[in-house]
Structure 1
């Protein structure tokens, strides 16, 4: 917070010297049981900035609807500079002992406009909800008080009495036109708003389309695939389930197109920086590498009728590789804490890559990320991030094939896996593969209504 305060002091001085108003919007996620004190944050951020002689305008807001909130990680500046990915701005998670691993990148160019415009809808949602009767009543309650309501929005502004109550929308026309940068590469921004909007989850469809387009290899670095569990069990929290559309896409890629799939996961229940259970720091939902691999096998069995166990085992041994995050020093720090992974990153056919905030386990949050559709740049990303990550992490010891095959007994999402019998000559029953390509994920991922947790 101190560094942000210093930065805003610099911005305020620049704005005053130029006699030009600079707008700063900061959006937080209003996580249940973790209220955001917007007034307190504004006070800390503006310490040392005069209230009545500044050209700085600051808004701090947060929202929640059902179990949706902002989960995007975006810093966009003047429609030209952009920082995005998986990093949260939490000191003890990243800057203290046993830090969590993460991935973000900085971009320059018109892609930053997309980030500004994506944020507009969230700020508009706050304004719309505060204009309702319920919103009028709730805004009288301090923002740091926990309120049990389906929807809550909070916002504070600086300077009081000078800045408008609500943050202005970003408009491209307010900025000077910029030519396309020399040497620019094609990018696509993909996002979702959670339950702010009804059913539409564009980023989910985009990710599915990428996975379904794979021809040679899919590489994935994520926190987990399985749903959040009841603590100390392998029972998903009520209403939560595995991300079947994504798992089915991986199953089809392996079985139909002979695609290799490589996955790096966080160690289950990794907690960085000495943070305890009550701190909410939990990187990994509790599932093992064998659990993830077994569920992919389970979906192959259910999608393809005539899969024999011996053939399936051989295919999986050759095509599916799953491991936990490691470094050259091993899988844990000197403190004994196992390494946590918070990246949301995947590469398709080594020609395009996604970096953003969206997990692949089921959660209906507001997310945003960027797809880089450029082979040379993708390979540079691989040289800098994926290749060292995979070289250190994959040792072949995290995903035992016997445990994977035996894991087909496990009941997941109220669907019982087909019992595995080694080298059984009988065919395995299941449903035929239905659909492909850019299918809607709403009903499969979220049933009739949206739900889930971070």
Structure 2
């Protein structure tokens, strides 16, 4: 409960204090035209108009290359090319590239197997029950995992996995495969429980392998408490510290770019979630490495992806930029800390790691075109480097059939007297609906809170989202014909007619139940958008406006898009649409309930 109160206090401070609004929150009527001047606070809507940015033509070849050219116009000196926007080819997606937890579509809420931390008969490091077969696991799966002591030729041990416990194993296997480098970028709090166990075991295996591997862990921290970088480093090296012949080096940083109380006119810290190995393979998306929220009861639903090829280097290059900021400000800012360890070292030091993206992986042999896309928020640079939102809005403007969105929220209100929305993105959605297209949006449920205390809802009810959209459409009608508001209407309300038929809005469901046993609401933490069932984004960047550092991937690949639709979107909409408040087949459309 204390963690929840602390988190809400932080968000209240972020929302209520003065400071620059996030780029995506400024509407056309609010935008100032400082043509030729690009700042972190430059609004997306002004940037698109002033720089004459054009959406890609999806009927023409290579829309991501078109997008790359338009994004470059927001970066006239090329300072952020390869950092916040980086188009690569030759990437490969394995059969299991889509990482969704829990992947239990259609199950009842009381039918998810999970295991308590500290359970009886558990393997102590991973806190999962030992087993011989699936029959020992009460609905879970019996799976072989890493050895207790790395390097010993002992029989593989087996443990029971609950609904999402395969994720720490996946992370362990990726990290343990490193030959040169590991990049881990996450949000406060530091990885814990089974995730820490997986990382600790992987680091020990790297130490035993005697490969020379640089491991960097960067954790975005928000006030007031932050992260103890030294304590987490000690957890990671606990099993590797005394392994003979080890050549592993580890660095852990806790960082915050700024707050209005420190060095900029905003609030900004890292919110990205990525794990990169050797610049050749990466897991990127929405997953925080928090055991209580993801691996036990009432789990948060989330989405990430795993890619092999040069796109992994894009992620590591983004991490390089964050580390450059850390190392440049280490002696000047109390909001940045660093702890380092090298094999044979008796005490924790404070050595800045080297850049890793220079160790470029060989060109990929796959056929998946991928754009690494990010934002630097505030405090890291005085220039505009928020290409993530810009790319999203340009792609929304390119849509001709559908926009599909799965998010925690579209609005941000916690601690504010008003509500912030991604104004330009909403306008692009309305443009599509006016062209005859459809918009599908699935959001987290009101009051969603993880077991660790973090909120997964921004105090913005579906009614508030609907009202903002309705006001926007009504404003367009009034501007087109100022006298229309005084005209006696004889037919259907055109605003309701458009939104009730074309805007499909629903709270998240994964099966027949509206909540978890005991009444806790179901949380959605995915950050997905998709255009015309073809081009999609998976990453850390929420659509609701906040000014943080973010990273994700935009993918243009029809096979991958089909996989995403079949294995994620279709079951998501099948179950969520049963609670839809607008769209085709909804009798009591929420837009009709809202009085202008």
Fold conserved between structures, TM > 0.5: yes
Instruction: Tell me if 1:22 matches 2:213.
Output: yes
Task: Indicate the SS of the match to 1:128.
Answer: helix
Deviation at 1:168, TM superposition (A): 0.9
Q: Distance in 2 between matches of 1:35 and 1:188?
A: 32
Structure 2 residue aligned with 1:228: 413
- 1:349 pairs, out of 525, 532, 535, with 532
Q: CA deviation at 1:164?
A: 6.7
Deviations 1:120-139 (A, max 9, x none): 011010111124xx33xx4x
- Where structure 2 has 5 or more consecutive residues not aligned to the other structure, the ranges are 1-195, 260-266, 485-491
Q: How does 1:105-124 map to 2 (within 5 A)?
A: 105-124=305-324
Deviations for 1:332-371, whole angstroms, at most 9, x for unmatched residues? 1123211100000011001111100000001011000001
Residue 57 to residue 109, structure 1, CA distance change in 2 (3 Å): same
CA distance in 1, matches of 2:544, 2:517: 30
Measure, in 2, the Cα distance between the counterparts of 1:93 and 1:272: 5
Distance 1:251 1:30 in 2: 36
Which residues of 2 match residues 19-98 of structure 1 at below 5 A? 20-50=211-241, 53-64=245-256, 65-66=258-259, 67-98=267-298
Alpha-carbon contact 1:224-1:287 (below 8 Å) kept: yes
Structure 1 position 406, deviation (Å): 4.3
CA distance 1:272–1:350, change in 2 (3 Å): same
Distance 2:215 2:306 in 1: 19
Q: CA deviation at 1:398?
A: 3.4
Residue 367 (structure 1) aligns with: 550
Aligned equivalent of 1:314: 497
- Structure 1 position 81, deviation (Å): 0.8
Contact residue 58 and residue 158 of structure 1 kept, 8 A? yes
Aligned to 2:381: 197
Contact 1:29/1:63, CA 8 A, preserved across alignment: yes
Look up the match of 2:200: 5
1:19-418 → structure 2 map (5 Å cutoff) = 20-50=211-241, 53-64=245-256, 65-66=258-259, 67-131=267-331, 134-135=332-333, 138=334, 152-159=335-342, 160=345, 165-172=351-358, 174-175=359-360, 178-182=362-366, 184-195=367-378, 196-198=380-382, 199-230=384-415, 236=416, 241-255=420-434, 257-273=435-451, 275=452, 279=453, 281-304=454-477, 305-306=479-480, 310-395=493-578, 397-399=580-582, 403-407=590-594
Q: How many residues align?
A: 373
2: CA distance between counterparts of 1:335 and 1:406?
30
Instruction: List gaps (5 residues or longer) in structure 1.
Output: 139-151, 231-235, 410-418, 420-454
Return the alpha-carbon distance in structure 1 between the equivalents of residues 385 and 278 of structure 2: 29
* Superposed displacement of residue 249, structure 1: 1.6
- Which residue in 2 is equivalent to 1:428? none
Matched position secondary structure for 1:272: coil
Q: Deviations over 1:9-37 (max 9, x none)?
A: 001111x2xxx420000110111123100
Taking a change above 3 Å as real, the CA distance of residues 229 and 163 of structure 1, as seen in their structure-2 partners, is closer
Match of 1:427 in 2: none
SS of alignment partner, residue 299 of structure 2: coil
